[in-house]
Amino acid sequence: MHSIGSRVLARINQMCPDDLHRDIAQDVGMTPDAFSRALRDRRQFSSIELARLAERLDADLHWLITGNTDPNRLTVAARHNFDHQTGERDVPGREGDEATIQNIALAYRQAYREPETPVALPDHASKAREVLEDDFVRTFADRLEQRLGVDVVRVPELSTAYSFTIGGRRVITIPATGNWFRENWSMAHELGHLAMGHHDEGLAADVSEKHEASANAFAADLLLPKEVLKEFDWDNISDRELADAVWRLGVSTDALARRLNHVNGYVPSPVASWAGVPTQRLLRRFLMPDHMGDDAITQRMDEAAQRRFPVHLQEAHLAGIAVGSLGKGTLAWMLGIDPDSLEVDAPDVPEVRADDLAEALGL
């Protein structure tokens, strides 16, 4: 696809292959003959025609013109809810989450004006696990940022987890719910989307479904690899040992049961008896004292309920505020506070008398 015409035609074939070209031409204000000649590169598209085509075809205008993806364009993958009874996946809160996703993207656009080239992510869960190192589930978000360069944002306004790349920076966003084991799975799931490049737009339903299944398999291999599961005698595990295992693995009893069923073909009865029961109940009743009992559980819940933005992003905003290139509004939103209560280093703005202003404006 070395020309604009070829890219427009490819997008038509992807998004609306059954639409008549004359109807598309009419929608963008072109005659059928002019549209046909432009597709064959015998006529140039005007700027307004390309803008209308980008809207009509839900295409990246930067890509239509240059053949390269706009590095500042936001493309999003979401963790879908999965109904195990019907086998259907959906994101019911996507529309309501849009404003928050755009606010997060704005924070990055304001802080980093120039796009960067990201380093390659591990292409398999086992490699990612090696880079993240042992016990990564205890500080999963920090490890993602420190070892893989993937930022993690946690805010209560979201209904589910998302991932996106903006300006070359990879970001995972998760809802602040206090549910740390679901949070771990969501981060692993979204890391799978990022590692496998699942952020193309306009995907057919069957392709999107495959992406979801692949990301979930990545999460399972990252958090519950087969070699780790073999370390436990699941058929004879006690409640205390199961609580300790769930704590160490960083997953829910339900996720553990489904993974064991996938790996072994059945759910061991000690695990099955706790599947579908709140994981917190098992932990609070049976977690061993050497893990500090309820205090550690509560602390882990509290951390998963806190608003979180990467420190480097906050520092970039502070630097911008200090030189007067940014206002306090976005940083205050990231911190979840009123802008008027945010005390930061900002340049002094001299007072201008009304008479001087009127004179400068020639009034």
Residues 8-32 have pLDDT tens digits of 999 999 889 999 999 999 999 999 9
Is 84 in the same domain as 176? yes
User: What is the distance between the alpha carbons of residues 339 and 329, in angstroms, rounded to a whole number?
Assistant: 6
pLDDT of the residue at 61 = 84
Which pLDDT value is given to residue 89?
45
The DSSP-derived string for 305-336 is TS-B--HHHHHHHHHHHHHTSS-SHHHHHHHT
Tally of structural domains, the chain: 4
75-105 residue pLDDT tens: 677 555 544 455 554 566 668 888 999 999 9
Judged against a pLDDT cut of 90, whether residue 171 lies above it is answered with yes
Residues 246 and 287 sit within 8 Å (Cβ to Cβ): no
**Which residues are CB-neighbours of 320 under 8 A, at least 6 positions away?**
110, 111, 326
End of a domain among 42, 66, 90? 66
- Beta partners for residue 171, in sequence order: 151, 164
Quick one: pLDDT at residue 119? 86
Q: What is the total residue count of the chain?
A: 363
The pLDDT > 70 percentage for the chain reads 85
The confidence band for 4, taking pLDDT boundaries of 50, 70 and 90, is very high
Q: Is the pLDDT of residue 354 over 80?
A: no
- Check residue 259 and give its pLDDT: 97
Q: Are 148 and 245 in the same domain?
A: no
79, 209: one domain: yes
- Mean pLDDT computed over 270-298: 84
Q: Across residues 163-186, what is the average pLDDT?
A: 93
20 & 129 share domain:
no
346 and 272, same domain (yes or no)? no
Supply the mean pLDDT for the chain: 88
The mean pLDDT value for 163-172 works out to 90
Of 136-145, 165-174, 289-298, least confident by mean pLDDT is: 289-298
Q: What's the burial of 224, exposed, middle or buried (CB within 10 Å: 0-12/13-18/19+)?
A: buried
- 28 and 125 fall within a common domain: no
Q: Lowest-confidence range among 218-222, 247-251, 265-269, 291-295?
A: 291-295
- Considering the domain architecture, whether residues 84 and 127 belong to the same structural domain is answered as yes
pLDDT at residue 347 in the model: 75
Of the residues 223, 247, 276, the one at which a domain ends: 223
Asked if 213 and 94 sit in the same domain, the reply is: yes
Query: Which pLDDT band, with edges at 50, 70 and 90, does 191 fall under?
Result: very high
Structural domain for 35, as ranges = 4-66
Q: What is the pLDDT of residue 350?
A: 60
- For residue 264, the SS3 value is helix
90 near 117, Cβ under 8 Å? Answer: no
* Mean pLDDT, range 159-179, rounded to an integer: 92
Q: Both 236 and 217 in a single domain?
A: no
Clarify whether residues 147 and 101 are in a common domain. Answer: yes
pLDDT of residue 81: 57
The residue ranges of DSSP E strands in the chain, in sequence order, are 75-78, 81-82, 89-90, 150-155, 162-166, 169-175
Q: 88 with 198, same domain?
A: yes
Output the pLDDT for position 14.
Answer: 87
Query: What pLDDT was estimated at residue 201?
Result: 57
Query: Is 174 within 8 Å of 183 (Cβ atoms)?
Result: yes
- Among 22-36, 53-67, 181-195, 305-319, which is the least confidently predicted range? 53-67
Instruction: Write down which residue in 223, 247, 270 finishes a domain.
Output: 223
Q: Select, from the ranges 69-83, 287-301, 321-335, the one with the highest average predicted confidence (pLDDT).
A: 321-335
Mean pLDDT of the region 342-352: 70
The three-state secondary structure class of 25 is helix
**Same domain assignment for residues 176 and 86:** yes
Question: How many CB atoms sit inside 10 A of residue 116's CB?
Answer: 11
With 80 as the cut, is the pLDDT of residue 144 above it? yes
Report DSSP letters for 52-108, one per residue.
HHHHHTT--HHHHHHSS--TT--EEEEPPEE-TTT--EE-TTHHHHHHHHHHHHHHH
